[in-house]
Structure 1
């Protein structure tokens, strides 16, 4: 999870990959007084919207890079902790997000996750 946006709320920048991460996400959602966690991504994301976001991902990395110096050296422990999330998110955009988005595109386009090792849609 990371913090940001207009109201400086939490957001999930990647799907949980371990049991512990799933439990942390469920706990955060249960404790969120504003009900900001939702499982409605499929009703908001289309293949075109995913590809548009990917093409414009430089805006996100610029935003993360602009926050990192201030949060890394902040006197506030929560901002220093969030700086770690900034680094993780930036690394994920570079190293793993493209593959995950291609799998998500397959699910959006085909209605299920890929069951074999066939080709995945391109992000273009």
Structure 2
């Protein structure tokens, strides 16, 4: 298993093929980033409330409920670790109407802030399971207009993402973050057998 793979060269090639400047696709502000974003190069700041990123990147994008009534913002819950996943993330990010995603996380995260995020993962997991239970239900009388049955498929899919996020917190994310800590320190991918930093 590769402990860290840099997705940005692939992402840059993909964005070049879109015919849009990267600054139009990735303009999210670090100061507005969602606290649920897992550390890594991609993150979401404030996004629109259409919640469509999972159409292209269901293994990487989730939605929060911060606006109430079943609406919220998008965030990255799993960073891409290969070309296929990077394509999915870039496609999910480019659909965002306000260009609220960014890919400059490598210049923002530090070993200290990654470890701080990991120490607080219990709060993230508790939130993910609670919203999965709510959005996975068949009735939502507290949502008003958005409680209609025509939206159930959307919210059930989002709940699957939340459950996947909780499972990733339990198994998989620690190994990724240790590789990411190595990347932040060395700015290269770890070689086979090299010791990785502890979280």
**Same fold per superposition (TM over 0.5):** yes
Residue of structure 2 equivalent to 1:22: 86
**SS state at 1:2 partner:** strand
Match of 1:93 in 2: 169
In terms of mean alpha carbon deviation, does 88-97 or 66-75 score higher? Answer: 66-75
Q: What residue ranges of structure 1 are gaps of 5+ in the alignment?
A: none
1:72 counterpart residue number:
136
Q: Specify the SS of the correspondent of 1:87.
A: helix
Compute the RMSD of aligned alpha carbons.
1.6
Q: Which has the higher helix share?
A: 1
Separation of aligned partners in 2, 1:66 and 1:89: 12
Counterparts of 1:109 and 1:87, CA distance in 2? 31
1:17-42 per-position Cα deviation (integer Å, ceiling 9, x unaligned): 45443322221222211111210111
Is residue 83 of structure 2 the alignment partner of residue 42 of structure 1? no
* Gaps in structure 2 of 5+ consecutive residues: 1-60, 139-148
Larger-Rg structure: 2
Partner residue, 1:2: 62
TM-score scaled by length of structure 1:
0.89
- 1:31 aligned residue: 95
